[in-house]
Amino acid sequence: MRSMSRDESHAASAMHALPRRSMSARRACAIWGVLAAAALAVFAASLATGSVSVTFAQMCAALMPAHGAPDMATEIVRTLRLPRALSGFACGALLALGGALLQVLLRNPLAEPYVLGVSGGAAAFALVAMIAGVTWWGVQASACAGALVSILLVLGLARRELWRGEPQDSSPRLLLTGAVTAAGWGALITLLLTLAPDTRLRGMLFWLTGDLNGAGMPWPALAALGVVLACIVPAAPMLNVLLRGDAAAQALGVPVLRLRVGIYLAASLAAAAAVTTGGTIGFVGLVVPHMLRLAFGNDQRMLVPAAALAGGVAVMGADLVARTVAAPAQLPVGVVTALAGVPVFLWMLLARRTR
């Protein structure tokens, strides 16, 4: 096996290192407060901005219980913009949260939710449903089933490494298993696009690049976000210890086996819920945890909730741009996140190298 290069060594050291000083509760709350305020501001802009402008008073009235027949502004906010904004926040929060968890699990700063093939399985099953001409809820159910199949497939192939309970690091085997599974799903997706009828090809391409246009049911994604946060936030101190390696964490009394399986299942659930709701939206799970880590440190007690808030802000903002920059035409939100994510990630790499 080749020796690790200098850049890879620096990246691995940054991921393994524990925070030098525990972040104070006051500073963590200040970070969460700023991100929550940004989320509320982008959420309000998403409800008020579009081809039909809505005033602040009309927006507030639309969010209140209806008395009498709703007017046009109320219908636009409640029926179109509110579900889309909530879906965008849930998808972004799930993707960023999944990215932060996988970067801890694999101790690899380049890990993201799609690296284990969850999105590939969801996309393949969803495309089959689109070719068959099923309704939108059938497409979402098929995507959820495909994500579940991919999770079980990777977990089954890597179970000897992930569940052995030994202090040996199982991250490389899990990462390679997920990469091979993702490559297989990618080949199947290419075949399905080749065989798809022309009448359905445009919708399939929009879904593959990430599209919130038909996201009318944000509640399953929001429920999945709540479940993942409820499971991971109490375990955040153990995530800090796990960054030192399996052997060190096990020596310090951390249940490495149960924690690693829990992180994998939580990250997979987050990715599956996000892909089922909004398609394959890239770069959020990779860039958002990186930015937070560079700006505020690697304390997982702060980073996990902050990643959820910042990811929601990122996707809501990208969807707002996708709806307005070429109005009345709408762009896929995944195109906007990719166009913004590539230069931001390159800037972060150059800034780290210069530092």
| DSSP letter for each residue of 106-125 | TT-TT--GGGGSHHHHHHHH
Q: Cα(82)–Cα(68) distance, rounded to whole angstroms?
A: 20
Q: Cα(253)–Cα(250) distance, rounded to whole angstroms?
A: 5
What pTM value is reported for the model? 0.85
281-309 per-residue burial string, b: 16 or more CB within 10 A, e: under 16: bbbbbbbbbbbbbeebbbbbbbbbbbbbb
Q: Cα(224)–Cα(269) distance, rounded to whole angstroms?
A: 7
CATH of domain 6-354: 1.10.3470.10
- Rounded to the nearest 10 degrees, what angle do helices 118-132 and 256-278 cross at? 30
Q: Look up residue 46 and give its amino acid.
A: S
**What letter does residue 167 receive in the DSSP assignment?**
S
Tokens found for residue 37:
């305020």
Tokens found for residue 138:
């059938």
Please state the φ and ψ torsions of residue 79, each to the nearest 5 degrees: -85, -40
Q: Cα(206)–Cα(135) distance, rounded to whole angstroms?
A: 16
Cα angle, residue 264 at apex, residues 260 and 265 outer, rounded to 5°: 115
Q: Is 286:112 a contact under the CB 8 Å cutoff?
A: yes
Q: Cα(100)–Cα(123) distance, rounded to whole angstroms?
A: 22
Give the DSSP H or E segment for 231. Answer: helix 219-232
What pLDDT, on the 0 to 100 scale, is given for residue 326? 76
Q: Look up residue 335 and give its amino acid.
A: V
CB atoms within 10 A of CB 331: 22
Q: Is 297:18 a contact under the CB 8 Å cutoff?
A: no
Among 330, 315, 333, which Cα is nearest to 51's? 330
pLDDT in tens, the chain (355 residues): 333 444 444 444 445 444 545 678 899 999 999 999 999 999 999 998 877 878 888 888 888 876 556 778 888 888 888 999 999 999 999 999 999 998 888 887 777 887 778 888 888 998 898 888 887 778 878 888 888 888 888 877 766 555 554 444 556 777 788 888 888 999 999 999 998 888 888 878 887 888 887 666 788 899 999 999 999 999 999 999 988 877 888 888 888 888 888 888 888 888 888 888 888 888 899 899 989 998 898 899 999 999 999 999 999 999 999 988 877 778 889 889 988 888 888 887 777 655 5
Q: Is 151:268 a contact under the CB 8 Å cutoff?
A: yes
Tokens found for residue 261:
């399986």
Tokens found for residue 115:
């690296």
Tokens found for residue 167:
């202090």
Domain boundaries, the chain: 6-354
